[in-house]
Amino acid sequence: MKREEVKVIIRSYGYVKTYVKKLLLILLMVVVDVVLSIIQPILWGYMLEAVIKLDIDKFTRFIIYILVLYVFEAIILYAQSYLSVYVNESITCEMKDKVFSKIMNYQMRLIGKMGIGDVLSHLEGDVAVIVDVYTNQILNVIIGI
């Protein structure tokens, strides 16, 4: 990584630090989802065992457990998705607002030299990459570990 890239990431951390609790909550929801995904085949195994033994009470109980598990997992996934989008869009909005404010303070001749394409590229592309690193890539690395 280049020195400039490291500086940008460190500087952009200021936008993310207000959302650290929400990012940790998203990570917790991901861990809960993984645990629920591990429990699911175990319950299916117990249910299959109850079918083989013709134990209707156990079978019914495990059907209810599986249904509750699916509902709980759906709620967790919805909350995780909602919170992820909220954090992502909030950080993007703050960063774009800051970049736009900086651009508005430039002298017109500097903007003319840069070109409108470069200005838009910085406003859209660079901000999107930085936000993606903080909200998606770091989370994916932690999940992978």
Query: Residue-wise pLDDT tens for the chain (145 aa)?
Result: 677 667 766 777 777 788 889 888 988 998 899 899 999 999 999 999 999 998 899 999 999 999 999 999 999 999 998 998 898 888 888 877 887 777 777 666 666 666 667 767 767 777 777 777 777 776 777 667 6
Separation CA 39–CA 12 (nearest Å): 39
pLDDT of residue 122: 67
pLDDT at 60: 93
Give the C-alpha separation, 117 to 52, whole Å: 67
CA dihedral 12, 15, 16, 20 (to 10 degrees): 140
Nearest to 49 by CA among 36, 38, 62: 62
Neighbour-count burial of 37, counting CB atoms closer than 10 A to its CB (0-12 exposed, 13-18 middle, 19+ buried): exposed
Scanning the structure block, which residue is given the tokens 């299959």? 48
pTM across the whole model: 0.72
Yes or no: say if 80 and 139 are a contact pair by the CB < 8 Å rule. no
